[in-house]
């Protein structure tokens, strides 16, 4: 077998073209074989199909690039949950834009490693300028805001708590019951005290409980973590009121806006984030309401000096004399060493769509969520939890117990009909639709509800639907 060609240099594109044609055909064929939002048959059937297609994983003699790509990509596409399908709406699992995916291909082909300038000469500048521009969206009135690219909200939240710890020592975190699980995990990883968790009886942080907690623990360094877009209901904490209380009690504020942060790009909806710029750090995920291939997380701070505790030195990557001679020092831009140039796909999207294009995507998707809420309200056999804050809609069949709700969800998954999430609110289990596809139509939404009501009807009669 000849030595396989590489993806870079001047010869790489010619080597990639026929391979990409094979990949694109396999993606098309796999999606047609799946014929729905996810493969039918549940975990055992899916595992059998993928193992049959890929066995043996390591053959004695290779099958060649086209056969391997065709076989494995087709099998993966056929067995995937497809976030571009309008009935795949369980999680903050976005259908990536084609242009961002194409940019990600270029990033893979060029393969810059974002840990030293000599591995990423152009990408280092692109990342610095892109993160600075995003930080300025969050902190428009600060002279030198900055941001880091992360693998997502979990890493960004961990970094935020790490920076607070480096400023104040073993800071005491305060969060509400609606906070993302990564906050608790970050305190454990960082050796910080377990968070003080206050109630969120209406789905958002209770301000009275927050004030009482701040007053009771005023003798300690405190970090309040608020949420702009919860994973269960998509609700946004009263950010400005929380910031007021933090100012009064000399506490710092971190806002996890992994879901809701991109509302900043929409003139119609950005008011929901009033107070965001008062936080000491902000998490943002553009692989949620930003339509990027994962990962595309952000941690923003109001001043680039806030990132100084991340400074790290390794002589083979950022020797002092190289830095003094003008080579940019990249190691302090992450806790990771080798990193992909995830800024490229973000920058391409920002350039291609601009503010108006991003606002249109956001506004369309939020409108779709309200259309679903309207359809549920008009369906007498369905109950709506609340009007959507962003794009999350909770609902359940009327007069149905939690066991039946869970059964409906699992049956839809097993049959390959729909991917809906689950959330507990007001002591009940709800089906969760997290709408992130700007191409979803009212007909798609009605069909989704028909699947649910059909199943609920059969289960109430004691039948096992097929």
> Three-state SS across the chain?
CCCCCCCCCCCHHHHHHHHHHHHHHHHHHHHHHHCCCCCCCHHHHHHHHHHHHHCCCCCCCCCCHHHHHHHHHHHHHHCCCCCCCCCECCCCCCCCCHHHHHHHHHHHHHCCCCCCHHHCHHHHHHHHHHHHHHHHHHCCCCCCCEEEEECCHHHHHHHHHHHHHHHHCCCEEEEECCCCHHHHHHHHHCCCCCCEEECCCCCCCCHHHHHHHHHHCCCCCEEEEEEECCCCCCCECCHHHHHHHHHHCCCEEEEEECCCHHHHHCCCCHHHHCCHHHCCEEEEECCCCCCCCCCCEEEEECCHHHHHHHCCCCHHHHCHHHHHCCCCCCHHHCCCCCCCCCHHHHHHHHHHHHHHHHHHHHHHHHHHHHHHHHHHHCCCCEEECCCCCCCEEEEEECCCCHHHHHHHHHHHHHHCCCECEEEEECCEEEEEEECCCCCCCHHHHHHHHHHHHHHHHHHHCCCCCC
Q: What is the dihedral of CA 183, 185, 189, 194, to 10 degrees?
A: 70
* Both structure tokens of 41: 């048959």
Q: How far is CA 240 from CA 53, 201, 274, 278, in A?
A: 54, 19, 6, 8
Residue 334's pLDDT is 96
Distance CA 415, CA 38 (A): 9
pLDDT for residue 1: 75
Residue 58 backbone dihedrals phi, psi, to 5 degrees:
-120, 90
Question: What's the pLDDT at 460?
Answer: 84
Q: Which residues 6+ apart lie within 8 Å of 407 measured at CB?
A: 459
- What is the rounded CA–CA span in Å between residue 328 and residue 125? 9
Handedness of CA 320, 322, 327, 330 (dihedral sign): negative
Residue 462, pLDDT score: 75
- Does residue 31 contact residue 39 with C-beta atoms inside 8 Å? no
Residue 464 pLDDT: 63
- Predicted local confidence at residue 466, as pLDDT: 60
245, 226 in Cβ contact below 8 A? no
Backbone angles phi, psi at 311, to 5 degrees: -55, 135
Identify the pLDDT of residue 2.
Answer: 86
In the block, which residue shows the tokens 């009033």? Answer: 274
CA–CA separation, 100 vs 352, rounded Å?
A: 10
How many angstroms separate the CA atoms of 152 and 150, rounded? Answer: 5
**pLDDT by 10s per residue, the chain, length 466:** 789 999 999 999 999 999 999 999 999 999 999 999 999 999 999 999 999 999 999 999 999 999 999 999 999 999 999 999 999 999 999 999 999 999 999 999 999 999 999 999 999 999 999 999 999 999 999 999 999 999 999 999 999 999 999 999 999 999 999 999 999 999 999 999 999 999 999 999 999 999 999 999 999 999 999 999 999 999 999 999 999 999 999 999 999 999 999 999 999 999 999 999 999 999 999 999 999 999 999 999 999 999 999 999 999 999 999 999 999 999 999 999 999 999 999 999 999 999 999 999 999 999 999 999 999 999 999 999 999 999 999 999 999 999 999 999 999 999 999 999 999 999 999 999 999 999 999 999 999 999 999 999 999 887 766 6
Residues belonging to the chain: 466
């Amino acid at each position: 077998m000849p030595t396989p060609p590489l993806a870079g240099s001047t010869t790489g594109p010619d080597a990639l073209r026929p391979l990409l044609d094979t990949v694109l055909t396999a993606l098309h064929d796999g999606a047609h074989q799946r014929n729905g939002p996810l493969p039918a048959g549940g975990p055992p059937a899916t595992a059998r199909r993928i193992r049959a297609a890929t066995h043996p994983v390591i053959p004695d003699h290779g099958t060649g690039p086209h056969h391997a790509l065709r076989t494995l990509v087709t099998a993966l596409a056929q067995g995937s949950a497809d976030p571009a399908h309008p009935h795949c709406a369980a999680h903050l699992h976005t259908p990536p834009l084609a242009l961002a995916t194409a940019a990600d291909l270029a990033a893979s082909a060029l393969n810059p490693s974002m840990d030293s300038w000599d591995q990423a000469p152009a990408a280092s500048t692109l990342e610095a300028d892109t993160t600075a521009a995003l930080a300025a969206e969050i902190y428009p009135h600060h002279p030198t805001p900055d941001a880091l690219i992360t693998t997502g909200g979990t890493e960004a939240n961990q970094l935020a708590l790490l920076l607070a710890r480096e400023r104040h020592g073993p800071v005491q975190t305060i969060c509400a019951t609606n906070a993302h699980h990564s906050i608790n995990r970050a305190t454990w990883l960082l050796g910080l005290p377990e968070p003080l968790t206050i109630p969120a009886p209406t789905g958002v942080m209770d301000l009275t409980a927050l004030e009482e907690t701040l007053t009771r623990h005023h003798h300690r360094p405190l970090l309040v973590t608020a949420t702009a877009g919860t994973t269960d209901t998509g609700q946004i904490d009263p950010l400005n009121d929380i910031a007021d209380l933090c100012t009064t009690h000399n506490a710092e504020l971190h806002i996890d806006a992994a879901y809701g942060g991109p509302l900043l790009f929409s003139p119609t909806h950005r008011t929901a984030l009033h107070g965001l710029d008062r936080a000491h750090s902000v998490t943002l995920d553009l692989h949620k309401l930003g339509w990027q291939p994962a990962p595309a997380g952000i941690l923003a701070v109001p001043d680039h000096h806030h990132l100084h505790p991340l400074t790290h030195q390794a002589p083979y990557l950022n020797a002092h004399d190289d830095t003094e001679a003008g080579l940019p020092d990249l190691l302090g831009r992450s806790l990771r060493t080798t990193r992909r140039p995830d800024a490229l796909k973000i920058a391409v999207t920002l350039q291609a769509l601009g503010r108006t294009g991003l606002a249109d995507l956001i506004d369309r998707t939020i409108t779709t969520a309200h259309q679903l809420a309207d359809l549920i309200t008009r369906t007498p056999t369905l109950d709506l939890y609340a009007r959507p804050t962003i794009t999350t809609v909770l609902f359940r069949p009327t007069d149905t117990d939690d066991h039946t709700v869970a059964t409906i969800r699992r049956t839809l998954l097993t049959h390959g009909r729909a991917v809906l999430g689950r959330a507990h609110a007001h002591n009940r289990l709800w089906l969760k639709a997290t709408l992130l596809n700007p191409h979803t139509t009212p007909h798609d939404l009605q069909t989704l509800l028909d699947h649910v009501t059909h199943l609920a009807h059969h289960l109430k009669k004691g039948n096992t639907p097929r």
